[in-house]
């Protein structure tokens, strides 16, 4: 790198436009002799691409490098508050509120000890009235496979399930179930607890009783950020697969009956089953829908596509303002109400947002009951499908463009700084006028402006693309590139300062 410094021994007016001298031979503070696209540009690009490649991996995304990009995605979700969700039917939430809970001192899983009399009443209400409009799918976000000491009410639930399974016109009943042991990936398959109600489900002539899971995971910022589309499970017959609750719900929305919806899900689970058994590496599958476009899933997990705000009080009044979400306290639920509110391809979720249910999760919108998270999972998949990173080649190309713009910004900041030159000899007001331009050419400020700019560009790009199942985030990679350019700027400035002092000393 060649460097030229100001000759401190020249005539004060020579080559000084402010003193009336000739400007044709002005020698500025630093002239590196390099163009915009030099070795440092390649270094900035390589550093940005390395960070980008790390963040493309699930492990890298969870590290501190992904913190800024996770924040980008969270803000993008928050910007979607009050956004209307198209193409989805009503969701009716029958809530076991605080008034129906007897005690929070239980040794079972969350929601397993929900008061069985109230649960039975809500199952009766969700079952509907034969011969009248009914929901398409009912999600029991309560582990009915865990039997409580309330034997009389448990027997009543058995009777309801038996009647349900014998009624071809009844909605699809999706019963949440706790799984243990593994996390549901191929190398760590989960296991479902045994239950006597498996016989009721297996012997249902209508084929409208299924069990499922709604496994959600997160990170240190948002606890409910990702959802699993299916889990690999261990059974007495070997390795099998179980679909997630939202997959059943969106298949049943438009299917002619519950049996058809189950057939659609079973067909979609054929490839994941092969994956779980080690017969294929790919995790992708396609869910066909009746009278709707199919939904393609690439990964076993994806982001939860939150589409609405839970309201001002997410504990006692969780609502979805983005579409037709009806929140009914347990004491007011009845069959005619369910038929009226959820008859148009509706989904009924029986769950609880009460604190005693111990089923609340941190989301981009604050604390939200697990049943409300499931509602968002259903809506998000219906509207945009699986949220996934932009295709890697397009992602890398956009990042290259951003890095080029960052390098160009620093380059022109250097030119502007060189054009301004020293201002110490100028009058006070002249220095004051030039101060904003000098600040905007300062490498520290340029770096900060670029970092903030890329952050919000990524945020709004993700906000616009979320409905298409795509998100982009260049916050960390772009900041690394800006940091490297700022480093080069500082090195040049420090070298100029050292040379100037050497000249002054000589």
Tokens 């463009």: give the residue: 401
The mean per-residue pLDDT over the stretch 180-187 comes to: 90
The reported pLDDT for the residue numbered 318 is: 38
The reported pLDDT for the residue numbered 17 is: 41
Assign 132 a pLDDT band (cuts: 50, 70, 90): confident
Q: Which tokens is 193 given?
A: 């607890």
Tokens 């369910």: give the residue: 338
Which one has a higher pLDDT value, 307 or 403? Answer: 403
The reported pLDDT for the residue numbered 501 is: 79
Q: Cα Rg for the chain, rounded, in angstroms? A: 31
Q: Which tokens is 221 given?
A: 């910022």
Ranges 173-177, 359-363, 368-372, most confident: 173-177
At residue 106, does pLDDT exceed 70?
A: no
The reported pLDDT for the residue numbered 60 is: 82
What is the C-alpha separation between 244 and 248, in angstroms, rounded? 7
At residue 251, does pLDDT exceed 90?
A: yes
Per the DSSP assignment, residues forming a β-bridge with 130 are: none
At residue 209, does pLDDT exceed 50?
A: yes
The mean per-residue pLDDT over the stretch 259-273 comes to: 96
What is the C-alpha separation between 271 and 9, in angstroms, rounded? 80
What is the C-alpha separation between 233 and 220, in angstroms, rounded? 27
Q: Choose the weakest-confidence range: 254-263, 308-317, 350-359.
A: 308-317
Q: Any residues with CB less than 8 A from the CB of 334 and at least 6 apart, and which?
A: 125
The reported pLDDT for the residue numbered 23 is: 40
How many angstroms from the chain centroid is the CA of residue 437?
39
Please name which of 91, 149, 162 lies closest in space to residue 117, comparing C-alpha atoms: 149
What is the C-alpha separation between 251 and 352, in angstroms, rounded? 24
What is the C-alpha separation between 250 and 345, in angstroms, rounded? 10
Percent of the chain with pLDDT over 90: 23
With beta carbons less than 8 A apart as the criterion, state whether 178 and 109 touch. Answer: yes
Please name which of 281, 286, 284, 308 lies closest in space to residue 296, comparing C-alpha atoms: 286
Q: What is the mean pLDDT of the chain?
A: 78
Phi-psi region of 3 (alpha: psi -120 to 50; beta: other; left: phi over 0): beta
The reported pLDDT for the residue numbered 231 is: 96
Which one has a higher pLDDT value, 456 or 505? Answer: 456
What is the C-alpha separation between 138 and 173, in angstroms, rounded? 5
Please name which of 295, 297, 299, 311 lies closest in space to residue 372, comparing C-alpha atoms: 311
A 10 A CB-CB count for 402 gives 21
Q: Choose the weakest-confidence range: 58-67, 68-77, 320-329, 380-389.
A: 320-329
In the chain, what's the furthest Cα-to-Cα distance? 105
With beta carbons less than 8 A apart as the criterion, state whether 185 and 151 touch. Answer: no
Please name which of 258, 11, 12, 18 lies closest in space to residue 136, comparing C-alpha atoms: 258
Assign 264 a pLDDT band (cuts: 50, 70, 90): very high
Query: CA of 249: how far to CAs of 78, 103, 243, 244, in Å?
Result: 25, 31, 11, 9
**12, 17, 21, 24 alpha-carbon torsion, rounded to 10°:** 120
Tokens 């440092």: give the residue: 40
What is the C-alpha separation between 383 and 305, in angstroms, rounded? 9
End-to-end Cα, the chain, rounded Å: 22
Tokens 């009460």: give the residue: 354
Residue 99, classed as helix, strand or coil, is helix
Q: What are the backbone dihedrals phi and psi of residue 296, each rounded to the nearest 5 degrees, phi first?
A: -100, 130
Q: 443, exposed or middle or buried, with CB in 10 Å at 0-12, 13-18, 19+?
A: buried
The mean per-residue pLDDT over the stretch 187-196 comes to: 89
Read off the pLDDT of residues 46-103 as tens digits, 9 standing for 90 and up. Answer: 998 999 988 888 778 778 888 888 888 778 877 765 444 455 567 888 888 766 665 4
The reported pLDDT for the residue numbered 263 is: 96
Angle at 249 between CA 248 and CA 251, to 5 degrees: 65
How many angstroms from the chain centroid is the CA of residue 185?
20
DSSP 245-309: HHHHHHHHHHSSSHHHHHHHHHHHTHHHHHHHTTS-S---EEEEETTEEEEEE-SSEEE----S-
Q: Which tokens is 122 given?
A: 């809500």
pTM of this prediction? 0.70
Q: What are the backbone dihedrals phi and psi of residue 454, each rounded to the nearest 5 degrees, phi first?
A: -65, -35
The reported pLDDT for the residue numbered 123 is: 93
A 10 A CB-CB count for 275 gives 22
């Amino acid at each position: 790198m060649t460097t030229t410094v100001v000759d401190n021994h020249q005539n004060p007016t020579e080559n000084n436009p402010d003193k009336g001298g000739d400007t044709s031979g002005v020698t500025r503070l630093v002239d590196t002799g390099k163009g915009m696209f030099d070795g440092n540009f390649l270094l900035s690009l390589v550093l940005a691409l390395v960070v980008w490649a790390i963040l493309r991996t699930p492990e890298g995304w969870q590290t501190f490098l992904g913190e800024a990009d996770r924040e980008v995605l969270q803000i993008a979700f928050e910007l979607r508050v009050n956004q209307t969700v198209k193409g989805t039917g009503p969701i009716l939430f029958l809530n076991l509120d605080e008034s129906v809970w007897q005690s929070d001192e239980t040794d079972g899983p969350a929601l397993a000890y929900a008061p069985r009399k109230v649960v039975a009443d809500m199952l009766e209400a969700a079952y509907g009235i034969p011969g009248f409009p009914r929901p398409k799918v009912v999600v029991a976000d309560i582990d009915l496979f865990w039997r409580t000491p309330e034997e009389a009410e448990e027997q009543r639930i058995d009777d309801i399930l038996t009647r349900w399974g014998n009624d071809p016109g009844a909605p699809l009943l999706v019963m949440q179930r706790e799984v243990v042991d593994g996390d549901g990936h191929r190398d760590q398959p989960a296991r479902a607890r045994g239950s006597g109600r498996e016989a009721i489900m297996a012997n249902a002539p209508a084929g409208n009783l299924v069990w499922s899971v709604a496994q959600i995971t997160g990170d240190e910022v948002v606890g409910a950020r990702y959802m699993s589309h299916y889990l690999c499970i261990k059974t007495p017959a070997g390795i099998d697969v179980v679909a997630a609750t939202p997959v059943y719900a969106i298949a049943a929305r438009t299917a002619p009956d519950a049996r058809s919806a189950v057939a659609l899900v079973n067909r979609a689970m054929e490839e994941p089953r092969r994956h779980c058994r080690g017969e294929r590496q790919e995790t992708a599958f396609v869910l066909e829908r009746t009278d709707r476009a199919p939904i393609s899933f690439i990964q076993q997990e994806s982001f939860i596509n939150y589409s609405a705000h839970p309201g001002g009080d997410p504990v006692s009044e969780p609502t979805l303002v983005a579409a037709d979400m009806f929140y009914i306290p347990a004491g007011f639920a009845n069959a005619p109400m369910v038929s009226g509110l959820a008859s148009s391809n509706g989904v009924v979720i029986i769950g609880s947002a009460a604190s005693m249910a111990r089923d609340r999760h941190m989301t981009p919108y604050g604390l939200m009951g697990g049943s409300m998270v499931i509602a968002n999972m259903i809506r998000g998949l219906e509207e945009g499908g699986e949220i996934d990173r932009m295709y890697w080649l397009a992602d890398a190309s956009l990042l290259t463009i951003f890095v080029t713009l960052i390098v160009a910004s620093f380059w022109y900041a250097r030119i502007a700084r060189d054009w301004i030159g020293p201002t110490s000899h100028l009058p006070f007001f002249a220095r004051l006028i030039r101060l904003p331009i000098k600040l905007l050419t300062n490498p520290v400020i340029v770096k900060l402006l670029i970092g903030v700019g890329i952050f919000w560009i990524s945020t709004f790009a993700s906000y616009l693309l979320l409905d298409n199942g795509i998100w982009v985030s260049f916050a960390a990679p772009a900041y690394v590139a800006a940091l490297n350019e700022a480093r080069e700027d500082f090195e040049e400035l420090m070298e100029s300062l050292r040379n100037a002092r050497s000249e002054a000393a000589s």
